[in-house]
Amino acid sequence: MRLVLQRVTHGSVTIEGKVKGKIDQGYVVLVGFGQDDDEKVLDPMIDKMLNLRVFSDENGKMNRSLLDIGGSILSISQFTLYADCRHGRRPGFTQAAKPDIATTLYDQFNAKLTALGIHLAKGEFGADMLVEIANDGPVTIILDSETVLSKNK
């Protein structure tokens, strides 16, 4: 599982000319799943994401988490996070999870965030989306389950 977290002042997703979701301060999260991912990756990745201290405190230092600030998440499915660009000029996506598996994991990811009380807006799996991001900082963090889970062992 790969997450690209972008700290934002606001973000939105538009599908077929209609705003499907929008948030104020928080994260726009690009969410991708690899072939070997299953539901076991969700909880540790969510925990890491929600507790990362990348929001500014009263001194302007990155010292507060999304939970600390009561921030929101705009969740966007993004299979292209598994693009393989090693050969040629057209990326390959064979390392990305198959759509039926990825959509189930994406739905579970979003349901877990909602169950935790996170204000969540989301895109639509497989849709052509226009994502507007007002990256704050800019701060962009990449989380990969291979790295996050290896630290938990």
- Catalytic residue numbers? 78-80
Residue 152: pLDDT over 60: no
Task: Spell out the domains of the chain, with CATH numbers in brackets.
Answer: 2-145 (3.50.80.10)
pLDDT at 51 (0 to 100): 98
In three-state secondary structure terms, 12 is strand
Which pTM does this prediction carry? 0.94
Element (H, E) at 16: none
Please name which of 36, 30, 33, 32 lies closest in space to residue 13, comparing C-alpha atoms: 30
pLDDT at 149 (0 to 100): 87
Residues of the chain with pLDDT > 70: what percent?
98
Taking all residues of the chain, what is their mean pLDDT, rounded to a whole number? 96
Residue 151: pLDDT over 70: no
Other Cβ atoms within 10 Å of 51 Cβ, number:
11
In three-state secondary structure terms, 90 is coil
Residue-wise pLDDT tens digits, 101-138: 999 999 999 999 999 999 999 999 999 999 999 999 99
